[in-house]
């Protein structure tokens, strides 16, 4: 064995880090505070970067079984006019598909099982130390050569290590819904597309994720009347009359709202402890790259600590130097898109129309999605 690793957090980033390290010869223990490994959220966009990681771990087919390939991502205004579009599908210009988060989590968990990761549930990590020790809520401790903290945006361990440089709430609240994919909610030509509507300061994302399921994301300003425990079709139809059928379908749907955040750390590691995923680089979901960035960063971490020179702290510094520029670029780009919600309708339509006609805008939007994670083979669309 190359060494021992403790992973704190059983979400997308933690599971990817655990499996990637185990594949490279590390002895890995993963600690999850809940009683089971389960997904938070409804659907997820998977692009070349995440698909490459899944292929490397041998669980691609399982993760994308029954997934949906939308032909295009369209951004529309309140009048339902297309302001910008990106062609999608298999390699046009990047492969993108949408799947359930639960299927992704299950696939990553199976990769961990197959690779010999010791998964321990009902264990909440509360602090970690640069020497590689981790303390748990029930009073026990563990020590490893490497600790990876991937316990989410509210990470106590990150805060205990005093790594946070800034944590900025964006004043936007997001909620997700997963419902049956009922025909007739949109015109037949639009139904298979990925469509995002901006109206006023609100946002609706339409995402088919299988033949049977539809994933909807809703965004409203903090304090807006629509930020309520149950969806009110009248309040939403006011800004999005073209979606009246959808909101009728969601009438009374229970919503769980959370504020979008942009988190930046002073550094991504302290001694033998590394922080990744939302704990290190949370971003609003406008590029569909939160999960992709967590997966590519976890794969890059496993590569850096396996092949790098020097001790673990030296290898973690190299990992950060390699991965941080693209991750933070993606964070900043996504936050910039979020800020478009605050523009007046006419200004936003003109501005997005100009951006949508720019090839550079499309390439920059997809920069992370089209990047091969460090240390693994590029994703080939024919493998899907």
Which residues touch 61 (CB under 8 Å, ≥6 apart)?
A: none
What is the predicted pLDDT for the residue at 93? 64
Let me know: does 192 contact 70? Beta carbons within 8 Å. Answer: yes
What is the predicted pLDDT for the residue at 351? 87
What is the predicted pLDDT for the residue at 362? 78
pTM: 0.95
Distance CA 54, CA 111 (A): 9
Which residues touch 307 (CB under 8 Å, ≥6 apart)?
A: 375
What is the predicted pLDDT for the residue at 195? 97
DSSP-derived pairing of the beta strands 72-76 and 82-87: antiparallel
Which residues touch 194 (CB under 8 Å, ≥6 apart)?
A: 45, 70, 72, 73, 74, 88, 96, 98, 205, 206, 207, 208
Let me know: does 231 contact 202? Beta carbons within 8 Å. Answer: no
Mean pLDDT by 10 residues, the chain (384 residues): 92 97 98 88 91 97 94 92 84 82 96 98 97 97 98 96 96 96 95 95 96 96 96 96 96 96 97 98 94 97 94 97 96 92 87 81 85 92 54
- What is the enclosing helix (H) or strand (E) of 235? helix 233-237
CATH topology of domain 4-168+260-383: FAD/NAD(P)-binding domain (3.50.50)
Distance CA 125, CA 142 (A): 10
Task: List the one residue out of 310, 315, 321, 322 whose CA is nearest residue 273.
Answer: 315
Distance CA 152, CA 121 (A): 16
DSSP helix/strand/coil, 236:
helix
Got the DSSP string for 150-179?
---TT-HHHHHTT-EEEEEEEEEEEEEEEE
């Amino acid at each position: 064995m190359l060494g021992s690793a403790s992973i704190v957090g059983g979400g997308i980033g933690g599971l990817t880090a655990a499996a990637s390290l185990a594949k490279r010869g590390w002895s890995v223990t993963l600690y999850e505070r809940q009683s089971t490994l389960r997904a938070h959220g409804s659907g997820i966009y998977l692009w070349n970067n995440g698909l490459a990681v899944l292929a490397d771990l041998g669980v691609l087919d399982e993760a994308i079984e029954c997934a949906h390939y939308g032909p295009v991502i369209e951004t529309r205004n309140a009048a339902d006019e297309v302001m910008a579009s990106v062609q999608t599908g298999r390699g046009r210009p990047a492969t993108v598909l949408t799947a359930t988060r639960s299927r992704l989590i299950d696939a990553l968990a199976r990769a961990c099982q197959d690779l010999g990761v010791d998964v321990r549930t009902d264990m909440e990590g509360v602090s970690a130390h640069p020497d590689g020790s981790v303390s748990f809520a029930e009073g026990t401790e563990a020590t490893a050569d490497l600790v990876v903290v991937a316990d989410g945006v509210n990470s106590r361990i990150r805060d205990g290590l005093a790594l946070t440089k800034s944590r900025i709430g964006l004043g936007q609240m997001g909620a997700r819904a997963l419902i049956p994919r009922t025909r007739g909610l949109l015109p037949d030509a639009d139904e298979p597309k990925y469509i995002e509507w901006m109206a006023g300061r609100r946002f609706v994302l339409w995402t088919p994720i299988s033949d049977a399921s539809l994933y909807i994301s809703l965004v409203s300003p903090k304090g807006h009347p629509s930020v309520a425990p149950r969806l009110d079709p009248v309040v939403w139809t006011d800004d999005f009359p073209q979606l009246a059928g959808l909101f009728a379908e969601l009438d009374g749907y229970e919503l769980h709202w959370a504020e979008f955040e942009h988190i930046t750390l002073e550094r991504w590691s302290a001694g033998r402890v590394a922080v990744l995923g939302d704990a290190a680089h949370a971003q609003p979901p406008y590029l569909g790259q939160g999960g992709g960035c967590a997966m590519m960063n976890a794969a890059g971490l496993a590569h850096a600590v396996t092949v790098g020179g020097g001790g673990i702290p030296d290898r973690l510094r190299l990992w950060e130097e390699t991965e941080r520029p693209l991750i933070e670029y993606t964070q900043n780009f996504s936050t910039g898109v979020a800020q478009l919600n605050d523009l007046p309708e006419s200004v936003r339509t003109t501005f997005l129309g100009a951006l949508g006609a720019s090839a550079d805008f499309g390439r920059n939007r997809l920069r992370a999605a089209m990047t091969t994670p460090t240390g693994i083979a590029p994703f080939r669309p024919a493998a899907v």
